[in-house]
Amino acid sequence: MARVRVYTLGVAAGLLLAAWAGSATAQDPPRFTADPAMTRGPAAAPVTIFEWSDYECPYCRRAQETLQRLQGEFRETVRFVFKDFPLRSHQNALPAALAARCAGAQDRYWEYHDLLFVAQPAFARDDLIGYARRLGLDVPAFTECLDTARFRDAVLADQREGREAGVRATPSFFINQRVIQGAVPIEEFRAAIRQALREAGH
């Protein structure tokens, strides 16, 4: 996603939400599920960022650096939720997403998630198992989880939820009542977050 786009839900309904999530308005933003293992930040934070991402997507990797800075800047007021959206054009994106969730089954989701983006695009089976070994995971348990695709349904549920909300490319972000697409400059994120905080009375 080379170009950056920022939308306000409701204002851009004719341009975006008619194709994305036609029933959502500025007063009724989309509601998404959040796996606690794939969430950073306070559960009761006034602002939540939902990120639909693909581990093989180079723009998603670029966005991670921005998100890490934002996590430090808005530590007390923003919750970050990762949602899987493996693209068909990336043959190893689904195995990588499955591997991250297998690491999450051993309480190491975020460490593995971050390592995947650093290691992109080395996602062959042996690579994924090697990352588990590097993090000190129970490798036999991890390998069984990966080989049986234990979390395939969960990954596809994330993808389906994104599609129902109109996600077509990665990375795509929902910040309360706004949609951001692409590897957005940090200033765009800050502006959207601060606006959302003001709207939430913070």
Q: According to the model, what pLDDT value does residue 11 have? A: 32
Residue ranges per structural domain of the chain:
5-199
Q: Are 170 and 60 a contacting pair, CB within 8 Å?
A: yes
What is the fold of 5-199?
Glutaredoxin (3.40.30)
- The 3-state DSSP composition of the chain as helix, strand, coil percent (nearest 5) reads 45, 15, 40
DSSP per-residue codes, 72-121: HHTTTTEEEEEEE---TT-TTHHHHHHHHHHHHTTT-HHHHHHHHHHHTT
Q: According to the model, what pLDDT value does residue 139 have? A: 99
pTM: predicted TM-score of the whole model, two decimal places: 0.85
Taking the CA of residue 100 as centre, how many other CA atoms within 13 Å lie in the half-sphere pointing to its CB? 30
Mean pLDDT of each 10-residue bin along the chain, 202 residues long: 39 35 42 94 96 97 96 97 97 98 98 98 98 99 99 98 95 92 93 96 90
